[in-house]
Structure 1
Amino acid sequence: MNDLNDHNQSNSRFNRISTPANAVLTLVFWLMAIVCLVPVLLVLSVSLSDEGSVIRHGYSIWPREFTFYAYEFLLKDIAKIAKGYGVSIFVTIAGTLLSLLFTAMLAYPLSRRDFKFRNYFSFFVFFTMLFNGGLVPFYMTYSIAGLKNSLIALILPYLIAPFNVIVMRVFFSNTIPPALIESAVIDGAGELRIFRSIIVPLSLPVMATIGLFQTFAYWNDWFLSLIFISNDNLVNLQYLMYKVMREVEYLNSGLVEASRAGELSKNLPSETVRMAMAIVGIGPIIFVYPFLQKYFIKGLTVGSVKG
C-alpha cells in the first residue's frame, strides 16, 4: 500500500513538473504552425488580389482589392488544367501503390536473417544513394526503351527509392518477430502467403509513411515531364505551372520587344494567376495527410523504442 502511495505521489510531482514544460512546448508548436501557415496564406491572398494592387503595394496577408479574376482566368483554360489534373492523379495513385508493392517486396527479404545474400543486396541499395550515372545515361535508358511520351516514364523513375527501402527494412527487422514467421512456415504457409497475410497487415505504419513520401514525390514532380514528355496531353499539373512561370519570366526579362510583350501579356497569366495555380496545385494533396496521420506518426518512430 505504501508503495502504491509513493508511486501516486511520484506521478503527481511529475505532472506538476511537466505541466509548464508542456505549456512551453505547446506554445512553440503553435508558433511553428503559424510560421508554416503564413506562406500559404500569403499565396492565397495574392491569388485573390487585383493585379494592379499587387504591383503597387506588393504582397500582403490580406487582399487590398479582393477579386476572383485570377481563378476566372484559369477557368478559361479549364480543359488543359483538367488534363493535367487527370495525369497527376493517375500517376500519383498508380505510382504510389506500385512503389509500395515493389519497395516492400525488396525490403522484406533484406530484413530476413536467413537470407544468405542480404548484406550484399543491402550494399547495392545503399550504393545507389551515393553514386548515380548522371542525367545523360538516365535519359538514354528510358529513351532507348521507348518510354518517351508515355505515363510509364512518369512512374518508373521514382518506383523504388533506396532511402524508403532502408526505412522499410529497419521496420521489418525491428517490429516483426522472427518467431511469427517461423510459426507460419511450420503451419505450411509459403513465402508469398506470409508476405500477403502477415507482413503487409502488420506494416501499416511504415506503409503509410512511405506512401505519403511517394505521394508527395509523384504529385510535386515536373522534371520527368520536362525531359520525357513532348505531348501536351500527357504533361502533369506541376509541369503546366512550371511552363507558366517560365513564360512570365521570359516576358519580364526584357528579351521581347515592348509592343510584342504587351500583345503576349494579354494571353499569359499574371502574378496573381501564378499564385492561383499554386493554390490549385496544392489543393488536393493537403487532404492526404489527415487520413494517414495516425500511421505516419507511428512510422516516424520506427526503431526508436523496442521492448
Structure 2
Amino acid sequence: MLVESRGDRIFNVINHFLLIIITLIVIYPLVFVLSASFSDPQAVLRGEMFLWPKGINLHSYEKIFQNKDILRGYSNTLIYTLVGTLINLVMTILAAYPLSRKDFIGRNAIMALFVFTMFFSGGLIPTYMLIKNLGMLNTLWVMIIPNAVSIWNIIIMRTFFQQSIPNELHEAATIDGCSNIQILTRIILPLSMPIIAVTILFYAVGHWNAFFNAMLYLSDKNKFPLQLILREILIQGQTNDMVKMSTESAIKQQREVEGIKYAVLVVANIPVLMLYPFLQRYFVKGVMIGAIKG
C-alpha cells in the first residue's frame, strides 16, 4: 500500500471536486432537455421547471410522431448513417492496412498526399461544381460519397495496425500460404475490434449530426435528414402542420413549438445514446492507442 502525502490528498480532493462540478455542468443540460420534453411547455416558458418535469405532458411527442416530415427525416438519417458508416469503414480499412505494411512500396509518399488534403482543399464552389457535374445533387450519394473517408481516421487505424499487431503474425500467415486479403480478414480485423468500434462511433455520429452538406446539395425536402428538419424547427420556427395556425392563439402556438423543440432533441439523440454503451469497452481501448508502448 502506498501512503499518500498531504499534498497528494489535497490534490485528490481538489481534483474530485472539479470533476464533480464539470460532470454536473455537462449532465444538467441533458437532464433539463429530457425533463422539458415531458413538461408542460407553459411551465418551461415561465421558468418554473428547474430539473424535474413539471406537469407531465406527452403532447409534443404525439405531434412529432404524427408529423410526416420528421418521420421521413428520421428514416433518411438512418439510411445515410447506416450506408455511409459501412462505406466509411470499408474505405478506411482498405486504406489503413496497406499503409501500415512495411513492405508496401511508396506508402510514405501516399501518406503525405493524404495528409496534404487535411490542410488544403479545393474550396466550396469547386466542390459544388464537381458534385453537380457528377450528377449527385439531390441524391442519396451526395450525403455519403463526398465524406466517404476521413484521413484522420485512416491515420488512427494505421497507427493501431502498426503498434498493436506484431509483424511476426504477418510473416507466420504468409508462410502458411495466406494472401493479403486472408491476412486482413482472418487475422487483422478480428484483432482490431477496439479501433473498428472507435471508427464506427466517429463515423456514425458524424453522419447522424450532418446537415451542412444537405443544406448545400439537397433541395428536395423528401431527402432532408433529420438534423435539417430539426434546424428548421429550432432556428427558423417552421413547424408546418404540427401547429394549427388558423385555430390557435399565438401564445399557444409558441408553447407547442417550445415543447416540440425539446421533444425533437430527445428523439434525435436517442440512437446515438443507445449505440455508445455497446461500444464503450472497445472505445476505451481504442482511444488509448499509442499511449503505452513497450
TM range (shorter): 0.7 to 0.9
Runs of 4 or more consecutive aligned structure 1 residues displaced over 6 Å after TM superposition: 21-24
The CA deviation at 1:274 is 1.1
The CA deviation at 1:139 is 1.3
Aligned partner of residue 233 in structure 1, secondary structure: helix
Larger mean CA deviation between 183-192 and 265-274 belongs to 265-274
1:110 corresponds in structure 2 to: 99
For 1:242 and 1:26, how far apart are their aligned partners in 2?
Answer: 37
1:273 aligns with 2:263: no
1:140 aligns with 2:140: no
The CA deviation at 1:300 is 0.6
Aligned partner of residue 196 in structure 1, secondary structure: helix
1:298 corresponds in structure 2 to: 285
2:228 corresponds in structure 1 to: 239
User: For structure 1, which runs of at least 5 residues remain unmatched after alignment?
Assistant: 1-11, 251-258
2:39 corresponds in structure 1 to: 49
The CA deviation at 1:169 is 0.9
Larger mean CA deviation between 20-29 and 56-65 belongs to 20-29
Alignment-mate amino acid for residue 91 of structure 1: Y
The CA deviation at 1:119 is 0.7
| 2:42 and 2:255 in contact (8 A); partners too | no
Alignment-mate amino acid for residue 148 of structure 2: L
TM-aligned CA distance change 1:97 to 1:41, over 3 Å: same
TM-aligned CA distance change 1:295 to 1:22, over 3 Å: farther
Report Cα offsets for 1:204-245 as digits up to 9, x if no partner: 111111111111000011112211222222111111101222
Larger mean CA deviation between 292-301 and 181-190 belongs to 181-190
Q: Where in structure 2 are the equivalents of 1:160-175 lying within 5 Å?
A: 160-175=149-164
| 1:244 and 1:269 in contact (8 A); partners too | no
State, as a whole percentage, how many aligned pairs show the same letter.
Answer: 34
Residue 167 (structure 2) aligned to one of 178, 184, 200: 178
1:34 aligns with 2:27: no
For 1:131 and 1:231, how far apart are their aligned partners in 2?
Answer: 31
1:62 aligns with 2:52: yes
TM-aligned CA distance change 1:144 to 1:269, over 3 Å: farther
Aligned partner of residue 270 in structure 1, secondary structure: helix
Alignment-mate amino acid for residue 56 of structure 2: F
For 1:58 and 1:37, how far apart are their aligned partners in 2?
Answer: 19
Larger mean CA deviation between 43-52 and 276-285 belongs to 43-52
Alignment-mate amino acid for residue 51 of structure 2: I
The CA deviation at 1:25 is 5.8
Report Cα offsets for 1:148-175 as digits up to 9, x if no partner: 1211111112221111011111111111
| 1:87 and 1:234 in contact (8 A); partners too | yes
1:219 corresponds in structure 2 to: 208
1:8 corresponds in structure 2 to: none
1:101 corresponds in structure 2 to: 90
TM-aligned CA distance change 1:15 to 1:211, over 3 Å: farther
Count of residue correspondences: 286
For 2:274 and 2:5, how far apart are their aligned partners in 1?
Answer: 37
Residue 63 (structure 2) aligned to one of 49, 59, 73: 73
The CA deviation at 1:275 is 1.4
Q: TM-score, normalising length from structure 1?
A: 0.83
Alignment-mate amino acid for residue 174 of structure 1: Q
| 1:87 and 1:237 in contact (8 A); partners too | yes
| 2:173 and 2:183 in contact (8 A); partners too | yes
1:209 corresponds in structure 2 to: 198
| 1:248 and 1:268 in contact (8 A); partners too | no
Report Cα offsets for 1:235-284 as digits up to 9, x if no partner: 1111110122232289xxxxxxxx9xx78x95996122111111110011
Alignment-mate amino acid for residue 293 of structure 2: K
The CA deviation at 1:296 is 0.5
The CA deviation at 1:26 is 5.9
| 1:87 and 1:235 in contact (8 A); partners too | yes
Alignment-mate amino acid for residue 41 of structure 2: E
Query: What RMSD, in angstroms, separates the aligned Cα atoms of the two structures?
Result: 2.9
Q: Where in structure 2 are the equivalents of 1:86-97 lying within 5 Å?
A: 86-97=75-86
For 1:72 and 1:198, how far apart are their aligned partners in 2?
Answer: 49
The CA deviation at 1:290 is 0.5
Alignment-mate amino acid for residue 207 of structure 2: Y
